[in-house]
Structure 1
């Protein structure tokens, strides 16, 4: 079985993505970083001009982001950046915590050696980006780690549910690393996950992942 890293030995170049995917990636980053704030109306004409793209692929990108739950499209009001209440976020993190608890248990039971190696390689890259204080690159690798762990659980329903919740929490998860001390604590939590993964200790990994999500709520609740 080829490992995930072997299958994608070369980084994915932006030119290999469809235009609407490139646009969706850019708008998604603008939402995550707060350039487009929750509840804000998206100026389709102005933003399309700023990005140098036509309206058709731009609207396709908005449909992609609406499917992810990052924006809401309404007749007469256009597209708005989706705004979640503090209680919405708390409940989503609560459910996601239990999903990742199960994911951690299942990965240690079912994942192949290649999958575990790929997860640990992602963890090493996460540490490199943390040391470089490259917050956005760290965030994206962190999202990839959690997504791939869910995919490696051997449970497709779990993986799909996790991805759906994770998509809605992108901005919130990015906010959780705004404070340098909070960021450092999050990295320590990831170190615990990596140690449990190396030992294939499912109970420990599951608890570490749930505690990580519980801690995420504590890190963002005062910002909501």
Structure 2
């Protein structure tokens, strides 16, 4: 529901109705809602409750602009600093993407790939900052999940440039990769608004495959 935009942007969540609909108690529901807040899908307002996060293309732009700068630097530094063994591991990681087909698995792998490159820089502060940005754009990256398969070839090209210790090429490919994804997300947000406010309904995914959301 929160992920698929069955809830309209900015809409307040009625916890009583949602608990009844999912046949769960308030405690596991509140835990699930707090996780969605942490992942950026919801926001919580003191004394008001949980709300669906608004879709703000300008906010997404600023976060992606910051992410782009961080990841260009990450890819350049990784090409210069990573050990041969670590670079071999990076290539194995992108090769394994071909075996993934599930949208959620592809999204997780995408995030893991980018964090891995940051880790190869040997700079934990850079990794922490990038994780913080990723947490704030996680909701936007989920919107873009259906085009995630198109990232495989780009990931391979980036990894090869890093493994070849070509920092300029790695940075150029990374910038192109992130800028293109941002443009796709903006278009999807525009389309999504039209569908949302035209009354399109999608099936809620809260509680699916989540053992913590169960009736007590």
Q: Report what 1:196 is aligned to.
A: 161
Does 2:60 align with 1:89?
yes
TM-score (norm 2): 0.74
Aligned pair count reads: 189
Kept after mapping to 2: 8 A contact 1:176/1:183: no
Alignment deviations for residues 76-123 of structure 1 (CA, whole Å, 9 cap, x no partner): 431112223111111111110110000101112222344323322221
Kept after mapping to 1: 8 A contact 2:2/2:42: no
Aligned-partner Cα distance in 2 for 1:123–1:167: 22
Superposed counterparts of 1:1-224, under 5 Å: 31-48=2-19, 54-129=25-100, 132=101, 134-178=102-146, 183-184=149-150, 186-224=151-189
Q: Which has the higher contact order (CA 8 A, sep 6+)?
A: 2
Aligned-partner Cα distance in 2 for 1:149–1:51: 39
Kept after mapping to 2: 8 A contact 1:125/1:141: no
Aligned-partner Cα distance in 2 for 1:217–1:102: 18
Greater Cα radius of gyration, structure 1 or 2: 2
Bigger proportion of residues as helix: 1
Aligned-partner Cα distance in 2 for 1:171–1:62: 14
Aligned-partner Cα distance in 1 for 2:65–2:45: 29
Gaps of 5+ in 2: 190-216
Aligned-partner Cα distance in 1 for 2:155–2:97: 9
Gaps of 5+ in 1: 1-29
Distance verdict in 2 for CA 1:113–1:55, change over 3 Å: farther
Q: CA deviation at 1:49?
A: 5.4
